[in-house]
């Protein structure tokens, strides 16, 4: 394998694109939150200052992880997985906040274990599937055990309840099974195994069932659209092609809940229009392009799977958030990567970018093991 000439410097394009997204996020969070900040705290910049501190924290971890040898994660993954599972169980015994139990609070700072589990699941499955060129028939027990770990993690998040993060966690895990070379029939069985578990969850947890039924009703016209999504679509329609101008949005005036968090895309669409949203998704495409490129050029199978999984995590989060904003998916409460106001999600995604930068420093001309033939275990 031939080393890439600029590998030791890392992927500068990825770094610059992420920095642009973070800066755009700061601008839009200030615009969306200034009225609320002035109303509640007598400080229009209250939320953007907090977010800037979180970006600084996330950038610190990005730099740390970009300099660490990513192979170290392979050996500490079992410990990280155990810690995250314990935290996911422990958070269920926390007092409810807004109808769910998702956060621990330490020294006045809240963090969400389920966000960190998404990245740890990528570590875990990358370590499992990098143990051989492909999983043969006699290794199906390893596939089954890994899938049970994924289902356990998804189930713990689902009962918090947090349908959105549970969806992301499952899809990220599923993408890792695909990248790991699991055959199509096995993948289909995994999806089918999820159906009765989801059905049982809908029976046990009326809150999740009602949210799903309300969404189905709104799609087929037999029920009203949720207030959040209705206001989101009004904002997008108001923005049109070119938007109403930075700072000129009306939905942030206590019409659209969470305009600087879960529905940041709607706020961008209102003030910057279709052009602004198009720019966001072009930047997101560049992040995904560089992530796939890093995976293709990783020097070993573990690096390939790790880069592919992190890229999938960013893509899945972005697509689900965007789907909610236009009522293609039920309301989930997921932030948009790099743009939305938040702490745990922002730090996790910046750690992921740090790992991608770390892998890119060791890039080779190409790694043929990325594409794995599927057939014998189909």
* pLDDT of res. 107: 66
> CB neighbours of 90 closer than 8 A, spacing ≥ 6?
104, 113
* Per-residue pLDDT at 134 exceeds 70: no
* Per-residue pLDDT at 44 exceeds 60: yes
pLDDT tier for residue 152 given thresholds of 50, 70 and 90: very high
β-bridge mates for residue 109, sequence order:
106
Look up residue 148 and give its two tokens.
Answer: 């049970």
* Per-residue pLDDT at 294 exceeds 80: yes
What average pLDDT does the segment 90-100 reach? Answer: 79
DSSP line for 295-356: HHH-SSHHHHHHHHHHHHHHHHHHHHHHHHHTTSS----PPPTTTSS-SHHHHHHHHHHHHH
* pLDDT of res. 217: 79
pLDDT tier for residue 289 given thresholds of 50, 70 and 90: very high
List, for residues 206-255, the tens digit of each pLDDT value: 777 777 777 787 777 767 778 888 899 999 999 999 999 998 989 988 88
pLDDT tier for residue 138 given thresholds of 50, 70 and 90: very low
Average pLDDT, the chain: 85
Number of H helices, E strands in the chain: 12, 2
What average pLDDT does the segment 71-76 reach? Answer: 87
* Per-residue pLDDT at 369 exceeds 60: no
Look up residue 378 and give its two tokens.
Answer: 């189909």
- Domain borders along the chain are 7-370
Question: CA separation (Å) from 39 to 30, 33, 35, 235, 375?
Answer: 14, 10, 6, 21, 61
| C-beta of residue 273 within 8 angstroms of C-beta of residue 242 | yes
* Per-residue pLDDT at 375 exceeds 50: no
Distance (Å, whole) CA 27 – CA 34: 11
What average pLDDT does the segment 325-343 reach? Answer: 87
DSSP 183: -
Question: CA separation (Å) from 282 to 196, 236, 288, 316?
Answer: 38, 18, 10, 16
DSSP line for 275-293: HHHHHHHHHHHHHHHHHHH
* Per-residue pLDDT at 184 exceeds 90: no
* pLDDT of res. 181: 84
What average pLDDT does the segment 71-87 reach? Answer: 91
List, for residues 114-130, the tens digit of each pLDDT value: 999 999 999 999 998 88
pTM: 0.89
């Amino acid at each position: 394998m031939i080393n890439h000439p600029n590998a030791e410097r890392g992927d500068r394009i990825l770094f610059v694109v992420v920095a642009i997204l973070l800066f755009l996020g700061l601008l839009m969070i200030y615009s969306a939150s200034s009225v609320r900040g002035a109303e509640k705290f007598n400080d229009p910049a209250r939320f953007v200052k907090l977010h800037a501190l979180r970006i600084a924290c996330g950038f610190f971890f990005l730099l740390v992880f970009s300099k660490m040898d990513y192979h170290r994660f392979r050996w500490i993954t079992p410990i990280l997985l155990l810690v995250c599972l314990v935290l996911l169980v422990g958070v269920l015994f926390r007092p409810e906040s807004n109808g769910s139990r998702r956060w621990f609070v330490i020294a006045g700072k809240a963090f969400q274990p389920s966000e960190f589990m998404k990245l740890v699941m990528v570590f875990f499955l990358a370590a499992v599937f990098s143990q051989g060129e492909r999983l043969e028939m006699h290794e199906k027990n390893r596939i089954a055990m890994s899938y049970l770990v994924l289902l356990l993690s998804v189930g713990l998040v689902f009962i918090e309840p947090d349908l959105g993060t549970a969806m992301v966690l499952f899809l990220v895990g599923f993408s890792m099974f695909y990248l790991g070379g699991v055959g199509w029939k096995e993948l289909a069985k995994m999806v089918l195994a999820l159906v009765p578990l989801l059905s049982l969850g809908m029976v046990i947890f009326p809150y999740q069932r009602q949210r799903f039924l309300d969404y189905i009703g709104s799609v087929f016209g037999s029920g009203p659209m949720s207030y959040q999504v209705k206001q989101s679509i009004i904002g997008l329609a108001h923005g049109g092609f070119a938007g109403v101008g930075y700072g000129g949005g009306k939905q942030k005036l206590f019409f659209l809940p969470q305009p600087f968090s879960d529905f940041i895309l709607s706020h961008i669409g209102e003030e910057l229009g279709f052009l602004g949203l198009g720019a966001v998704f072009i930047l997101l495409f560049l992040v995904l392009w560089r992530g796939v490129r890093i995976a293709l050029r990783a020097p070993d199978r573990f690096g390939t799977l790790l880069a592919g999984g992190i890229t999938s995590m960013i893509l899945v989060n972005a697509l689900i958030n965007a789907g909610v904003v236009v009522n293609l998916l039920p309301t989930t409460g997921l932030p948009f990567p790099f743009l939305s106001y938040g702490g745990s999600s922002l730090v996790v995604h910046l750690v992921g970018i740090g790992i991608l930068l770390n892998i890119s420093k060791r890039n080779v001309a190409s790694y043929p093991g990325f594409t794995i033939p599927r057939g014998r275990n189909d």
